[in-house]
Structure 1
Amino acid sequence: MTIAIRAKQGLTRRQLLVRSASTVALAGLGGVAKPYLSRAADRPGIGCGIQSGDVSAESAVIWARADRPARMQVECSTVESFASILRTGSADALPDSDFTAKLLLDGLPSGQDIFYRVRFESIDTRGISGETQTGHFRTAPTKQGSVSFVWSGDTLGQGWGIDPARGGLRTYCTMRDNRPDFFIHSGDHIYADCPVPSELKLPNGAVWRNIVTEEKSVVAHSLAQFRGNYKYNWLDDNLRAFHAEVPMLAQWDDHEVTNDWSPVGSADETGYAEDGTSNLVARARRAFHEFMPMRAMPERDGRVYRKVAYGPLLDVFLIDMRSYRDSTWNKRDDKSETFILGPAQLAWLKRELAASDATWKVIAADLPIGLVSEDAIALGDGPPRRRECEIADLLSFMQRAGIRNTVWLTADMHYTAAHHYDPNRAVFQNFEPFWEFVSGPLHAGTWAPGELDNTFGPKAMFQKGCTAEQGENLAPCFGLQFFGRVDIDGESEIMTVTLKDVDNRDLWSVDIEPRPDARPGQMLAQHI
């Protein structure tokens, strides 16, 4: 199992020099008995890359994967030269977790650039270690200041894998050039149900040539195959460079398991465990948590939904619209009980939104609200029904509690759009106006914009995807790969949302001015 532990207190430069000298001496002594350990091939290496995630004002999770059983050693500093070491820590990378390791670095200064370096050390022989890789993240501020981040989703879908001749996963390079404080991945980190063939024909007659691996050549069923999907992503230079420099807030959607999955009804030939849970989902969930730089929550049964506070101006609420949903298609004539968040998560979201003192409350969702889909929320024009009822309940609660400045971000639809929701256009009207922004894919097939319904009054202020002439599932090389950027000004508190493409072009942008919360004092508790 991947583990996370508290980091040790930092060492002085003198202590590090003494320890290094001792290590060299011990290695020299051990070299007489085991001379083969001096060869590079016998030293544990970094099997994928390094990444950070779930960054707070004083901590962050560091992740890496070894190429064999090893112990991950991490050092961090506030200076790129590592002239002084702020914190150190270690965590084991063992076969049970496919040699992945996580470490929670805490006690860090807020609002500070943190540089970290990772190496793997032999578990059997102290001092025998492999290559070192360096990374960077910035801790959240405690004082008011400007914040910038990017978001998107949908990586390596529809058979469009890594074609090095076409630049690989180019959107990751473009996002890295934006120098964001962090990145929200809105889900579909992998497409476990979409094998990657060696070649695909393009509409213009050219050929797309994928890197191919054994585990990515089939639909994932085994734990090894799910893990192999994540390892495939790390073959891309752009993705490795991005994750080494930009911390990630990860959530999941359906393709981490299989298309349109639900807790009950999504299973393979192995069926269900004694408690009724899907074995397929359990394997997929395990691989997801092994490869994501998320804080360990073992007491919460692999929970994905959580809040990440990023200073006085921003709280991010990462929700899970897969794990607690009903297991039926979202059809209007179905009279069975339906939900997409589930009672426990919905109560948590209301409670955390009401308690938030941040100017902006970003709700990072893995599905949009008003786009009609049998797999999502919207059913078509008319009053709230089925899953729409949970959203109506949440929106009306926020209105009663005086919670304002909520912005919804998502991906999933494989095009980019800006939706403005207004009760004056809606059938259901008990809510405050708000924005929802859709952006993606990072690297997958592009689709045409979908249909909006009038239940909550959305209006498409901008949308861009493929056209009927281009056809569905347009390849990434045609430039319709998207992400969004959010900038919050430290003085005016204005949020600027910009929809961008793989070539870093600004496609559309809006400035949103914050409104003061209209909280009704002590009456707020009655609505929670």
Structure 2
Amino acid sequence: MGYGTGPVVGRRAVLRGSAAVAGAAALPPLAAAPAQALSGRPGAGWGVQAGDVTSSSGLIWVRSDRRARMIVETSATGSFRSARRWHGPLVGPDTDFTGRTALHGLPPGEQIHYRVLLADPDDPRRTGRPVHGTFRTAPAGRRDVRFVWSGDLAGQGWGINPDLGGYRIFEHMRRLDPDFFLCSGDTVYADGPIPASIALPGGGTWRNITTEEKSKVAETLAEFRGAFRYNLLDDHLRRFNAQVPTVVQWDDHEVRNNWYPGQILDDPRYTEKNVDVLAARSRRAFSEYFPLSTQRPDGDGRVYRVLHHGPLLDLFVLDMRTYRNANSPGRRPDDTQGILGEAQLRWLKRELARSRAVWKVIASDMPLGLVVPDGPADFEAVAQGDPGAPLGRELQIAELLRHIKHRRITGTVWLTADVHYTSAQHYDPARAAFGDFAPFWEFVTGPLNAGGFPAAKLDGTFGPEQPFVKAPAVANVPPGQDSQFFGEVAIDGEGGELTVRLRDERGAVLFTKVLQPGRVGQ
């Protein structure tokens, strides 16, 4: 998004200007960082992650420091006296030493304790120190549900700062003990190098932990892998991953700012100009570094999916990046590809109609009614600043909203991140240029650890009203200066009401909205 009358500065562009990079040596890693000598037994210093958790299954992730056989043991208690053993894959350089093991036949609504061992493939008796984790399976009946969401990690050059204790926001989210964490895209900033230090406006220096791969924009598979690996140097994130399963989606910075399929880059930082080549490499690294079963190690598969979390919640995870058309002024009167692509839109309409969950939460990696520019004339998200009838990508969203109304689908709530501040939008046909939809709420939060930015303008096509917004007054406010946010969703198991709380980086509640099940126009 541009600011003022000077050169256009992307909301998620690489840090420059007053927060310039100061020449300094790379810092040593945190005391508990996962660097290990290649001697003795296999090590799993990058921690563990759980994902794709259902009422009876889950997917466990680990990274080894060498070739090893992945073994997972599960138990109802942390004592592991009656452990069940799961034999996983042999991990090696073809997956950057990452591996995933699927667990099945788990009891619903229960705390599952697990530990991952890495065994020497030539001597299975030689195993490394086990790495422990835990997660709760989804309930089979009506039980309380709680999850948190946010996005945008290590953006604008703001990386892991040991002076501030690293990514502290994950510790505040962990203390809420949520059932899962929805990461709403920009899980890494592959296009954002991490300098050793940054001169802060007004004086002082921000220091970063650095790595070789994060010294430049990611182009090779090794550099993309290094971008995903960088965040796991943080103690808080590894501790969070060991307790809270992750539902992950991607957006643009996993590849490059504001990218779209078929784009040819005009950027001197890149020797590889074909964004499709870069996206394929990033997708492979993305599939290796998260426990996501719809992605395969070769990078094939898809990100969009629906997760069923008991009778109260279905979570629809969208991909607004892979299938979109080129960014443009967004004024076309016909646009079938839009931001979702035809196939994903058909899937979403079908699955929403099939859902019997009380709440259908739509995890969107971009907001609907906030104007997010891409340069002086093009637009990056759905809205394009014209408050009239739907045009361009808005046509696809209008079709979806019309479908939700006419099929009498209740309980839809939209969650997103991307814009680096937090807000709540209520959309109402009584205020809209397009009126054939039922009122709904959209909640925005983030970033996790990136620059904070001023609020975007609202587009009136779908009649948004903004009862709450908290955003910095200036661009690229660093973490730790009241500029980082996350959200919490709690669903009451007995009455079914859904409560959204928007929180600051320390966990303080900034805004609360309670929604009643089955009620239209809240």
Same fold (TM over 0.5): yes
Alignment CA distance shift 1:344-1:335 (3 Å): closer
Separation in structure 2 between the aligned mates of residue 60 and residue 224 of structure 1, nearest angstrom: 28
Q: Could you tell me which residue of structure 1 aligns to residue 505 of structure 2?
A: 502
CA distance in structure 1 between the partners assigned to 2:516 and 2:248 by the alignment:
27
Mapped partners of 1:40, 1:288: distance in 2 = 25
* Aligned with residue 237 of structure 1, among 218, 235, 244: 235
What is the TM-score with the length of structure 2 in the denominator?
A: 0.88
Determine the C-alpha separation between the residues in 2 that align with 1:361 and 1:171: 27
Q: Is the 8 A contact 1:404 1:432 kept in 2?
A: no
Selected match of 1:426 from 432, 436, 444? 432
Correspondence for 2:393: 387
Q: What CA distance in whole angstroms lies between the structure 1 residues aligned with 2:84 and 2:55?
A: 15
In 1, Cα distance between equivalents of 2:135 and 2:273: 41
Task: Say whether the 8 Å CA contact 2:305–2:316 is kept in structure 1.
Answer: yes
Of 392, 398, 408, 1:402 maps to: 408
Count of paired positions = 473
- When structure 1 is superposed on structure 2, of 88-97 and 242-251 the one drifting more is 88-97
Residue 227 of structure 1 is matched in structure 2 by 225
Residue aligning to 1:179 = 177
Residue number among 209, 212, 221 corresponding to 2:210 in the alignment: 212
Q: Which residue of 2 aligns with 1:449?
A: 455
Aligned-pair CA distance for 1:308: 0.4
Query: CA-to-partner distance for each residue in 1:381-440, whole Å, 9 max, x for gaps?
Result: 111001000000000001110001100000000000000011101000111100000000
1:375 aligns with 2:380: yes
Greater helix content: 1
**Deviation sequence 1:239-295 (CA, Å, 0-9, x none):** 0000000000010000000000111115664466xxxx8211100110011101111
CA distance in 1, matches of 2:327, 2:478: 31
Distance in 1 between residues matched to 2:520 and 2:158, nearest whole Å: 45
The answer for the alignment partner of 1:159 in structure 2 is: 157
Q: How does 1:460-471 map to 2 (within 5 A)?
A: 460-467=466-473, 471=474
If the length of structure 1 is used for normalisation, what is the TM-score?
A: 0.87
1:69-99 Cα distance to aligned partner (Å, 9 max, x none): 1111100111111121145232221100000
Match of 2:19 in 1: none
Q: Is the 8 A contact 2:330 2:393 kept in 1?
A: no
Verify: 1:416 aligned to 2:422, yes or no: yes
Q: What per-residue deviation string (whole Å, max 9, x for no partner) do you get for residues 85-143 of structure 1?
A: 14523222110000000111111000000000012111112211111110010000011
Please tell me the root mean square deviation across aligned C-alpha atoms, in Å: 1.9
Name the structure 2 match of 1:104.
Answer: 102
**Match for residue 365 of structure 1?**
364
State the one-letter code of the partner of 2:404: M
Q: Distance in 1 between matches of 2:68 and 2:156?
A: 35
Which residue in the other structure is 2:348 paired with?
349
Aligned residue in 1 for 2:477: 474
- Runs of 5+ consecutive residues of structure 1 not aligned to the other structure: 1-38, 519-528
> Is 2:280–2:299's contact at 8 Å kept on the other side of the alignment?
no
Q: CA deviation at 1:330?
A: 4.1
Letter in 2 for 1:57: S
Contact 1:330–1:377 under 8 Å retained in 2: no
| Identical aligned residues as a percent | 50
Could you tell me whether the CA contact under 8 Å between 1:89 and 1:105 is conserved in 2? no
Letter in 1 for 2:492: D
Describe the shift of the 1:465–1:271 C-alpha distance in structure 2 as closer, same or farther (beyond 3 A): closer
SS where residue 486 of structure 1 aligns? strand
Letter in 2 for 1:231: R
Secondary structure of the corresponding residue to residue 131 of structure 1: coil
Q: Residue 438 of structure 2 aligns to a residue in which SS?
A: coil
1:93-172 aligned within 5 A: 93-172=91-170
1:104 is paired with a residue whose SS is strand
**Which position in structure 2 is the counterpart of 1:4?**
none
SS state at 2:101 partner: strand
SS in 2 for 1:317: strand
**Aligned with residue 58 of structure 1, among 48, 52, 56:** 56
In structure 1, distance between residues paired with 2:137 and 2:338: 36
Question: 1:481 & 1:225 partners in 2: Cα distance?
Answer: 27
Q: Any stretches of 5+ residues in structure 2 without a counterpart?
A: 1-36, 373-378
Choose 1 or 2 for highest CA Rg.
Answer: 1
Q: Would the aligned equivalents of 2:285 and 2:299 in 1 still touch at CA under 8 Å? A: no
**For the residues of structure 1 that align with 2:389 and 2:286, how far apart are their CA atoms?**
37
Q: Distance in 1 between matches of 2:94 and 2:68?
A: 12
1:296 CA drift (Å): 4.1
Distance 1:114 1:271, change over 3 A: same
Q: Deviations over 1:348-384 (max 9, x none)?
A: 0011000001000000000000001210000121110
Amino acid paired to 2:477: L
Preserved CA contact (<8 Å) 1:78 1:86: no
CA distance in structure 2 between the aligned counterparts of 1:226 and 1:191, rounded to whole angstroms: 10
Contact 1:76 1:117 in 2 (8 A): yes
Counterpart secondary structure, 1:42 = coil
Task: Return the alpha-carbon distance in structure 1 between the equivalents of residues 65 and 428 of structure 2.
Answer: 52
Q: What is the letter of the counterpart of residue 368 of structure 2?
A: I
Contact (CA 8 Å) 2:439, 2:520: kept in 1 or not? no
- What SS does structure 1 have at the residue aligned with 2:39? helix
Contact kept, 8 Å, 1:338 with 1:386, in 2: the verdict is: no
Q: 1:201: Cα distance to partner? A: 1.4
Secondary structure at 1:329 match in 2:
coil
Distance (Å, rounded) in 1 between the aligned partners of 2:338 and 2:423: 25
Q: Is the 8 A contact 2:335 2:395 kept in 1?
A: no
Verify the 8 A CA contact 1:340 1:387 in the aligned structure 2: yes
